[in-house]
Amino acid sequence: MNDFNVEVVTTAKTNLMGLDRVAMEAFFVAMGEKAFRATQVLKWIHHEGVTDFSLMTNLSKTLRSTLAETCEVSLPDVVSDELSQDGTRKWLLSVPGKSAIEMVFIPEDTRGTLCVSSQVGCTLNCSFCATGKQGYNRDLTTAEIIGQVWLAKQMLAEQYDTDDRIVSNVVMMGMGEPLMNFENVVTAMQMMQDDFCFGLSKRRVTLSTAGVVPKIDLLKEVCPVSLAVSLHAPNDELRNTLVPLNKKYPIKELLEACNRYVSDSARSRITFEYVMLNGINDELEHAQQLADLMKTVPAKVNLIPFNSFDGIDYVRSSNSRINRFRDVLHDNGVIVTVRRTRGDDIDAACGQLAGDVMDRTRRSEKIRQKRAETTP
Ligand code: SAH
């Protein structure tokens, strides 16, 4: 009752999509139910893909109707769904607040990787990234992050006509800086690993960060998944211009945090991502500097050919420049791979994700035009 003696009716239902096992157990105990209801409901939602409480047949009818009155299992809406010629699939998803995010699935021979977003937009404004150019809108909720994995699993099961594990790996490399939305991202990544949800091993969940140093230490304590670091430059002067966050957490501090992250796990390495920008960070001296840095931390380097987008001046390094850069690293004993560009016919490649609906519409037009031009 409030000051006016009017009963306040709240219509907001609890979204069970965002509850991990601990939260779900607390939820059922608080409503006077046994804690094991939590794992039953988690299995319905995440293993069986059931979101309708009336179908959860191992719960009593009374409980099912109470849940239907007080809870929901709500997911982002699918706005568009595109399939690249190379099998890469990209979805545009809308979330409350007139926002949209993108999610990408990349099939390979031995694995299937889902690239998930953590924020609507991003605050970091890296100079070569489409998401950064779009600005920042808000953090995604846990339900919106884990909901991406849930949706992909359902839609891929239809596409591939099997319930087998099509999503074998999840990378937090979509829109946003995951360590700037720490709690929601960690809860979602714990659900990815929970056997009652998606049951992925911690090796198969990767978080990519531009280098939020204190949060790297926290991550090691609470959820030590595989770590990728977006380095992109081998010295502070250059990195300050590409990744402005470097002014706050310079390379030395970042690499120290990386060393702490892997300090008690002898076999794991940090993946360092390095976008190849012609004439900017791809000179031989940069390769040598990078090789020297990489001797100070258990590392593998992933060279990413720059993916262009409207209104950006950078140019992708040529294959020969990428190869000679790779060779310097290799000759210095650094493990190095070149990322194959996937899905660029549907703007699904690294750094091209931008969920703005208006922008997306323009891109659809562009794709339609491109297809019309090339179709006889
Ligand atoms: N904020 C996180 C995760 C999102 S970006 C991070 O910075 O790691 C995922 C990867 O794509 C990062 O390594 C990012 O630097 C890279 N990337 C961004 N824009 C790119 C572009 N235009 N071409 C190629 N890679 C890009």
pLDDT per residue as tens digits for the range 24-70: 999 999 999 999 999 999 999 999 999 999 999 999 999 999 999 99
Ligand 1 atom 9 nearest Cα: 173
The pLDDT assigned to 365 comes to 45
Residue pair 138/120 in contact by the 8 Å Cβ criterion: yes
* 346 Cβ inside 6 Å of ligand 1: no
The pLDDT assigned to 6 comes to 52
Euclidean distance between CA atoms 178 and 122, whole angstroms: 9
Q: Which of 22-38 are b and which e, b meaning 16 or more Cβ less than 10 Å from the residue's Cβ?
A: eebbebbeeeebeeebb
- pLDDT at 374 exceeding the cut of 50: no
For residue range 105-122, list pLDDT tens digits in order.
999 989 999 999 999 999
Structure tokens at 353: 């994700």
Considering 2-6, 121-125, 263-267, 348-352, the range whose residues carry the highest mean pLDDT is: 121-125
Name the amino acid, one letter, at 281. N
- pLDDT at 1 exceeding the cut of 50: no
* 314 Cβ inside 6 Å of ligand 1: no
Name the amino acid, one letter, at 22. V
Helix (H) or strand (E) segment spanning residue 142: helix 142-160
- pLDDT at 361 exceeding the cut of 50: no
Domains and CATH numbers, the chain: 14-72 (1.10.150.530), 77-370 (3.20.20.70)
Q: Are strands 112-115 and 99-107 parallel, antiparallel or unpaired?
A: antiparallel
**Which residues form the catalytic set?**
102, 350
The pLDDT assigned to 353 comes to 59
Ligand 1 atom 21 nearest Cα: 351
Which SS3 state, helix, strand or coil, does residue 184 take? helix
Structure tokens at 98: 């007139």
Ligand 1 atom 1 nearest Cα: 177
Burial class (CB in 10 A: 0-12, 13-18, 19+), 289: middle
Cα of 130 vs centre of ligand 1, distance in Å, is 9
Q: Give residue 347's pLDDT band: very low, low, confident or very high (50, 70, 90).
A: confident
Dihedral sign of CA atoms 370, 371, 372, 376 in order: positive
> What is the mean predicted confidence (pLDDT) over 339-364?
62
* 128 Cβ inside 6 Å of ligand 1: yes
For residue range 287-335, list pLDDT tens digits in order.
999 999 999 999 999 999 999 888 899 999 999 999 999 999 999 999 9
Euclidean distance between CA atoms 75 and 57, whole angstroms: 22
- Ligand 1 atom with the smallest distance to the CA of 305 is 24
